[in-house]
Amino acid sequence: MRFPVLGAIAAGGALGSLARFGLSAAFPHPPGGFAVSTMFVNATGCLLIGALYASTDRVLLRAFLGTGVLGGYTTYSTAVLDALRAVQTGNPWPAVAYTFVTLTVCLAAVVAGIRLATRKGEK
């Protein structure tokens, strides 16, 4: 892999991770509660990554924004950890609902991002 691509991914990942951390710190949720900030981050990241990949094939831009910024910003592992914590606190049904809603919303967001970018390119 070329060094400029690795640099773009690293720089973008740092920015995306900081944005995710900032949102989770600004909008915390109680242990076992519905992790709205994590779901918001993942849904907006999915919308943006769908739009990005439908609108450009530029390698450095995809590396920086897609793999880097949006890869650092979105967080499947945190979503799974939030669900596990809900189960551990004796709340299995919010965990199931959270997991289902997160996957459904994020899939819909990727499709919406692709459609928005595709529609914008047709005009």
Residues that constitute the known binding site for Na(+): 71, 74
**Binding site listing:** 71, 74
Distance CA 5, CA 63 (A): 6
